[in-house]
Chain A
């Protein structure tokens, strides 16, 4: 890729998600015109007061805007940690949930739904159990003071199944009139509860994780050569693997705790990125970030407008992403696999 193309790519990676966020402000059953949106944005960014009806301000600035921003953060987090894990585990079939973070977070949320019935404890519990699951996978995968990739994957598989079983258990003991539906809907994923406070709480781990992975993205190339070669190329594999796992876990756990379980993004968005820009993580990681953000905003918007009631995200990501992925596979001949 030459320099001009690279510049164009990086500019579009920044502008793309911003454009999707902007378009979201118009989408919904209550129509808002362009001048109104422009006026609201102008007032908000210059901290002046608007003389528009409150309903517009609430709709555009307090409902649609945080939802779009959260969608961008969640989609970006899932995609970027999926791409990083695929490189780290040297396996293109790996997704962001490989070390059990999604199952762990799912159990944490289900547990908190039964015990507390409140939003903030659900976030905390989901985040905590998501992190705990990864820690357990890591400890299981540790042999002889090192963590071979295959052992980590095995650890992740074990921990995921245990937490999946625990999720089933919480469903089994949950009150079927109110708790059980909450758990089921939570597990299907949604951005419906998005408020600015959610962005502040969950945004911190997501941003830390994303920034970390973007910063070490070239090291992921070297790690994908395998432990032995990476070490002889001069990098401390233990420390570097640790950094990637911690960052990816912060990003994914932060995403899952506000949005529930949204599959597919962490597996397929990195692949779409690979087909578009190749496998060099220097370009792939930022591309996955932007594509994930755009994709989730798009799917969330579709979910809001297709039917009268919202369709959960976890369902739509696969329904929309699947055919699109097949189209890309066919049109790029798989990108060199």
Chain B
């Protein structure tokens, strides 16, 4: 049985359709990428899986439980969320923030227990930021802040984590730090991850690291293709979705491994003078 099973969901605001007849499954220990242009409905789909929005019809099951109409604390024990950017308000300590991941296990009048504290420390250690526990999270860098958000999601002890462009505002190195952390987490804990991203290379990164990876291309509010990154992220498909010319390069690193990357070359309407030059240099 798949961990996340989305069956034929539709969603829309008033007259405007945002999701049309979408079905997919995410298995245990698998990472599933949503890729597509701005406004194609990625975030809306994530909000449906998180129980924030209610689809017009169709079913979403996590671990065999239909999440339609069940209480938020029940959903929050099955799926956690890592936002694209977290708006920092009060200078809480890192510990205080990650403790909030335990909210679904603590009653209305309750406060976190010693056991919750232990789980939080374990989560901080898993992403390698235990040393930041007493720092004010408003004073952390963007990359450290995002690791705090991942630790908070881990403290929820869910089998599935939903991430919405978790590296959107990060520098070159910290983007890699986040990706490495996620690879380690999936390997060590068998987590499943559903991630929206703008970078096809993220999907290749996980495939290159031998993580069970699937990717779907979304356009016009529906899925066009779904499958392994090698199959789906072809030059033709990228052209279809983004209307760009791109090359997929493969570089062998040992006998049965190769490193794949997408290199964008030009937009379709920027004229043909740029692309041929690059093609020449390849030969």
Contact = CB atoms under 8 A, between A and B. Distances in A.
A157 interface: no
B103 A236 contact: no
Interface in A212-270: 215-219, 221-222, 224-226, 228-237, 240, 243
A149 to B, nearest CB: 11
Nearest to A89: B89
A336 B138 contact: yes
B175 interface: no
Contacts of A217: 111
B75 interface: yes
B235 to A, nearest CB: 37
Query: Which of A215, A219, A232 lies at the interface centre, i.e. has the most chain B CB atoms within 10 A of its CB?
Result: A232
B73 interface: yes
A6 B90 CA distance: 21
A337 B96 contact: no
Contacts of A237: 72
A235 B103 contact: yes
A222 B100 CA distance: 6
Given A216-B108, A336-B139, A235 B86 contact: no
Contacts of B91: 278-279, 335-337
B265 interface: no
A91 interface: yes
A97 B279 CA distance: 67
A234 B111 contact: no
A67 B165 CA distance: 57
B77 interface: yes
Q: In which size bucket is the chain B interface?
A: 35 or more
A62 interface: no
Given A222-B100, A222-B103, A87 B111 contact: no
Contact of A216 (B72, B93, B109): B109
B83 interface: yes
Contacts of A216: 108-109
A336 B86 CA distance: 18
Contact of A229 (B83, B90, B108): B83
A223 B171 CA distance: 30
Contacts of B99: 221
Contacts of A222: 100, 103
Nearest to B92: A279
Contacts of A215: 108-109
A337 B106 CA distance: 29
A222 B152 CA distance: 12
A232 B109 contact: no
A234 B92 contact: no
Interface string A291-332: 000000000000000000000000000000000000000000
B52 A280 contact: no
A282 interface: yes
Interface of B: 50-52, 71-77, 79-81, 83, 86-87, 89-93, 96, 99-101, 103-106, 108-112, 136, 138-139, 152, 156
Question: Ordered nearest first, which 4 A-B pairs have the shortest CB separation?
Answer: A234-B104, A234-B76, A336-B91, A232-B81
Given A231-B51, A235-B72, A282-B111, 19 more contacts: A90-B87, A90-B89, A92-B89, A215-B109, A216-B109, A222-B100, A225-B100, A230-B103, A231-B52, A232-B50, A232-B79, A233-B104, A234-B75, A234-B105, A237-B72, A274-B90, A279-B91, A336-B136, A336-B139
